[in-house]
Structure 1
């Protein structure tokens, strides 16, 4: 009896993480990095003197996917999340709020450049994906 109780307890303990895992759209680590990647993309597009560090960006994308897999998310869950228009709009909106909150104004490249240089200097995630000329 003691053995079957221990087996049931072990089964319950090892089963819980799969069910208790938060949805990808609520995983702060993943979402923060996706928002910052979007910020970096917008900054490099809006500022003529800032380029993307593409190899670094690809390496970071692979690392983020590996992190998600290690957290127990399946390939299918990751792909569905990344392909979701609703999630993309949400991430883009968060990036837009960040940009506006940091003084970026559409049509004013100097505001993009200022934030881009600040991000690089502060060594943020977005800054690590950028290179100022």
Structure 2
């Protein structure tokens, strides 16, 4: 799964309400997206773990609905999910989270260990991954 491709599902039209925060500051949206970026990084760096694309799509659809319920317009959602700056920020935050857990580029075993731990914990990150071994 490449989050940048599946994030496009957030762009489906819905009625607009007034949102309290800019979308890139909304804690729930950013937390869920961070889990996706972390899952992507794990899958990209651990050949034994694959992304669960249908599960990711389902989570993104829930997130899109949440954003719409919070009052974010289609234009705001589209701008957020297509922003190279926001994607870079998400990837950097994921890399920081993973580094704090011991994973850095070139440490394949650490990515695999973290991914398997997340699967065992049944976290959202783990829910988005499949162990092929």
TM-score normalised by length of structure 2:
0.83
Structure with the bigger percentage of helix:
1
- Is there any run of 5+ residues in structure 2 with no aligned partner, and where? 1-16
Q: Aligned partners of 2:117, 2:67: CA distance in 1, in Å?
A: 29
- Is there any run of 5+ residues in structure 1 with no aligned partner, and where? 1-16
5 Å-filtered alignment, 1:105-124, equals: 105-124=104-123
Question: Which has the larger Rg?
Answer: 1
Alignment partner, residue 25 of structure 1 = 24
State whether residues 95 and 104 of structure 2, in contact with CA within 8 Å, keep that contact through their aligned partners in structure 1: no
TM-score normalised by length of structure 1:
0.83
Per-residue deviation, 1:76: 0.7
Task: State how many pairs are aligned.
Answer: 116
Q: Aligned partners of 1:87, 1:46: CA distance in 2, in Å?
A: 21
Alignment partner, residue 60 of structure 2 = 61
Runs of 4+ in 1 over 4 A off after TM superposition: none
Per-residue deviation, 1:105: 2.2
